[in-house]
Structure 1
Amino acid sequence: MPTPETLERFISLVEANAHAEAVEVFYAPEAAVRENQSEPRVGRGAAMAREHAIHAKARSMTSRCVRPALVHGDHVAIHWVFDFEWLDGSTIHMEEVAWQHWEGERLLAETFFYDPAQRTPHKAER
């Protein structure tokens, strides 16, 4: 189970848009990450690569935890709100719930639950 301090440090890094750093610091080397019911990305390196790829497409982003994060033993649920502005000027507003399984101070497995329709970009108004 993560300590409250560990969980707050993790959330703070994500809210600072340091997503890949949060993965590097807190995910176990063998961590598995999945979105909805997709096949998991296995390994901290795969999770970091995904974060770098998303950031490379974004002009700007904001990441916010809707508190409280819920903790029960080794399980944590976090409600996230993300706003992206892509390089082409289109935007996405997403809300998701991350269901996490921690082993001590390391995140071992995570599933993001969200409505996939949110991933459709909105074109910039001219």
Structure 2
Amino acid sequence: MPAPETLTRFIALVEQNAHVEAIEAFYTQDASMQENTSAPRVGRDALVAHESRVMERARTVRSKCVGPVFTNGDFVVIRWLFRFEFQDGTVREMEELAYQEWRGERICKEQFFYDPAQFAPQSPVASR
């Protein structure tokens, strides 16, 4: 079960848009991430590689946790809002729920729930 201070540090790192660094610091070596019902990506190295590719495509990223954060023992649910402006000028805004299982102070399993229609690129002028 993560300590409240650990969750605070994790959320702060993501809100600083240090997504790759958050994976490196807060996920187990054998961690998995799953997008909705897709097959999970497994292994911290694979998670870092995937996130690095996403972040390389972005010119700017804005990440915001919308509280409250729900915890129940080893399980945590976080509501996130993201805004990506990509190198080609397109903008993508999305809202998701991250359902996490923690092993001590690290995430061992995470599944994201979101509406895939949010991936439709928007023009640069469209924003919240």
Instruction: Pick the TM interval, shorter chain.
Output: over 0.9
Normalised by the length of structure 2, the TM-score is 0.95
Q: Displacement of 1:122 after TM fit?
A: 1.0
Give per-residue Cα distances to partners, 1:45-77, cap 9 Å, x unaligned: 111111110111001010000011110000000
User: Number of paired residues?
Assistant: 125
Give per-residue Cα distances to partners, 1:52-103, cap 9 Å, x unaligned: 1011100101000001111000000000000010111110110000000001
Residue 88 of structure 2 aligns with an amino acid whose one-letter code is D
**Alignment map for 1:79-94 (pairs within 5 Å):** 79-94=79-94
Counterpart residue number, 2:103 = 103
Residue 100 of structure 1 aligns with an amino acid whose one-letter code is Q
Counterpart residue number, 2:120 = 120
- Which piece of structure 1 moves more, 33-42 or 116-125? 116-125
Percent identity for Structure 1 against Structure 2: 53
Normalised by the length of structure 1, the TM-score is 0.97
Residue 28 of structure 1 aligns with an amino acid whose one-letter code is T
**Is 1:14 paired with 2:21?**
no
Q: Is there any run of 5+ residues in structure 2 with no aligned partner, and where?
A: none
Counterpart residue number, 1:51 = 51
**SS across alignment from 1:64:** strand
Residue 84 of structure 1 aligns with an amino acid whose one-letter code is F
**SS across alignment from 2:121:** coil
List structure 1 runs of 4+ shifted beyond 2 angstroms: none
Q: Is there any run of 5+ residues in structure 1 with no aligned partner, and where?
A: none
Q: Displacement of 1:124 after TM fit?
A: 3.5
Give per-residue Cα distances to partners, 1:23-56, cap 9 Å, x unaligned: 0001000001000000000000111111110111
RMSD over aligned Cα atoms? 0.8
Counterpart residue number, 2:73 = 73
**SS across alignment from 1:121:** coil
